[in-house]
Structures are given as structure tokens and as C-alpha cells.
Structure 1
């Protein structure tokens, strides 16, 4: 897991829920660092550096495409 790269940082779990489902559907190797910790102590998210989306380098390009598609203004599933 040390080779994984940080692709995005979120403050709260609701901000990336749809993205998480899309990444799992595409079978991309990823994990959300600090996800459980922030879930237990939500007001301390900033102190922990937020929730980091960590993606395997070989899946990085596809993950970026998924994020870009969700950030498109015409997408009904925009990332907060």
C-alpha cells in the first residue's frame, strides 16, 4: 500500500460516497485513508488531514477520468 498515490482529499464521508461506488464498480484498486477515524470523530477531520483517496498508480488515470466525469456540470451525480 506504500505505492498508492493520493488523488483527492475530502472532509466528510458523504462527499465521496458516489465516487466510492463508481471506483468499486470499475474494480480499481483504492482505499480511503482516515475513513474510519473521521467516521468516529467527524469534527476532527481537518486535524487528521481529511480523508485521502489513495489509488494504485496503474489505476490512477481511470480514477481521474471517473472524478472528472462526476465533476462535469451536466452530471446529476456531482461530487460535493
Structure 2
């Protein structure tokens, strides 16, 4: 996992729930660095640099597409 690189950073654990499910469903290896630490102490998020989503560089494009789709779906107002 040392070759995994950060593709996105989140401030709080509730922000990654849906994304985690999608990545697992797509069988994309990933790591949310600092997830447990920040789950225990949410105020430490800024001190530790947030929850960092790390993926293998080969999966960057696919994960970026997933992130873009999520952002688009979250910003649509009916």
C-alpha cells in the first residue's frame, strides 16, 4: 500500500460512507487514512489533515469519475 496516493480529503467520517460502499462494490482497493482516529475525535480532523482517500495510481481515473458523479448527484437541485 506504500504506492497508494491521495486522491481526495474529507473532514468528517459521515462524508465517506457512500463513497466507501461504491468503492467496495466496484472492487477498487482503497484506504481511508486517519478514518478511525477522526471517528474517535472529530475535532482532530484538521490537525491530522483530514481523512485521506488513497488509491493505486492505476485506479485514479476510475475513482475520479466516481467522485465527479457523486459531486454532480449531490449538487442537483430539483
**TM-score (normalised: structure 1):** 0.88
Cα deviation per residue 1:17-72 (whole Å; 9 max; x = unaligned)?
Answer: 11111111100010100000001111111001100000011111110110011011
CA distance in 2 between partners of 1:25 and 1:67 (Å): 14
CA distance in 1 between partners of 2:24 and 2:57 (Å): 16
Which structure has greater helix proportion?
A: 2
Query: Residue 3 of structure 2 aligns to a residue in which SS?
Result: coil
CA distance in 2 between partners of 1:68 and 1:48 (Å): 25
The aligned runs of 1:24-63 (5 Å cut-off) are 24-63=24-63
Alignment length (residue pairs)? 75
Is 1:17 aligned to 2:17, yes or no? yes
CA distance in 1 between partners of 2:25 and 2:68 (Å): 16
Q: In structure 1, list runs of 5 or more residues that go unmatched.
A: none
Q: In structure 2, list runs of 5 or more residues that go unmatched.
A: none
Q: CA deviation at 1:16?
A: 1.6
